[in-house]
Amino acid sequence: MREAYHDQLDSIFRDLSAVCGNVQEAVRLATRALLTGDAETAEAVISADSAIDEATERVEDNCFSLLSLQQPVAGDLRVIVSALRMVSELERMGDLSVHVAKIARLRVPQIAVPEEVRPTIARMAEVAEDMVSRVSQIITERDVEAAIALSRDDDEMDRLRRNSFTQLLSDDWEHGVEAAVDIALLGRYYERIADHAVSVGNRVVFVVTGSFPVASDV
């Protein structure tokens, strides 16, 4: 009986990792749609969000089932409660990918990102996708060191975000208010994906160690 129970606990983390893989794909495709003006790809991201939502609901249902039927304590309770928080973060990351795709779709047949801002936005997208990919591995392996490193690497995203503001507020900006709003929103979406990735990583640290990383760790 206890062996089956612990298999159920492990399966929650496998399911979280699978959801994370779906989110990574959503980030990748949303970015492709954004940088190419591909309406079909944008629509695919928007449509696929329901599958991410359904997967997160299944994880939540499994967690609540274990809470009600097994009455876990100590470390097991920490795993379940953390999983509930992580799945919420992952769902939000999927939603943010949809927001990126919707900006791409809105500007078709144009491309939403002006040429001079493309390197910054493309790099933000690359960092976000990489962080999501690493979160999947962190969840699977419960890798504390990798989770802490993820927090440090979030600094690059913050620098890119500041750089995007510098570009759109420059006196040389020639693309109007609409494009400026798009860039501000896109920067926010990618930054929030990275923030959620760090939060998930921190919760993995909590599951393994019983405490969250302190400022000196990150």
Q: Is 175 helix (H, G, I), strand (E, B) or coil?
A: coil
Domain segments of the chain as ranges: 2-209
Condensed to tens digits (0 to 9), the pLDDT of residues 146-184 reads 999 997 778 999 999 999 999 988 989 999 999 999 999
Task: Provide the angle, in degrees to the nearest 10, between the axes of the packed helices 74-107 and 2-36.
Answer: 20
pTM over 0.75: yes
Of the pLDDT bands very low, low, confident and very high (cuts 50, 70, 90), residue 188 is very high
Residue 214 predicted with pLDDT over 80: no
Pick the CATH number of 2-209 from 1.10.3720.10, 3.20.20.140, 3.40.50.2000, 1.20.58.220: 1.20.58.220
Peptide bond into 114 cis (omega under 30): no
Check if the beta carbon of residue 135 is closer than 8 Å to that of residue 201. Answer: yes
Contact criterion met (CB below 8 Å) for 13 and 139: yes
**C-alpha dist (Å) from residue 133 to 62, 74, 177, 203:** 24, 29, 34, 16
Give per-residue pLDDT as tens, 15-65.
Answer: 999 999 999 999 999 999 999 999 999 999 999 999 999 999 999 999 998
For the cut 60, the answer to whether the pLDDT of residue 217 exceeds it is no
Element (H, E) at 158: helix 144-168
Confidence of residue 74 (pLDDT cuts 50, 70, 90): confident
**How would residue 70 be classed by pLDDT, with cut points 50, 70 and 90?**
confident
Q: Tell me, what's the pLDDT at 2?
A: 58
Tokens of 125: 């997208």
User: Quick one: pLDDT at residue 5?
Assistant: 66
Instruction: For residue 71, name the pLDDT band (cuts at 50, 70, 90).
Output: confident
State the Rg of the chain over Cα.
19
Left if phi > 0, otherwise alpha if psi is -120 to 50, otherwise beta: which for 156?
alpha
Residue 10 is predicted with a pLDDT of 83
Q: Evaluate whether 128 touches 160 at the Cβ level (below 8 Å).
A: no
3-state SS record for 18-44: HHHHHHHHHHHHHHHHHHHCCHHHHHH
pLDDT band at 3, cuts 50/70/90? Answer: low
Mean pLDDT of 189-214: 93
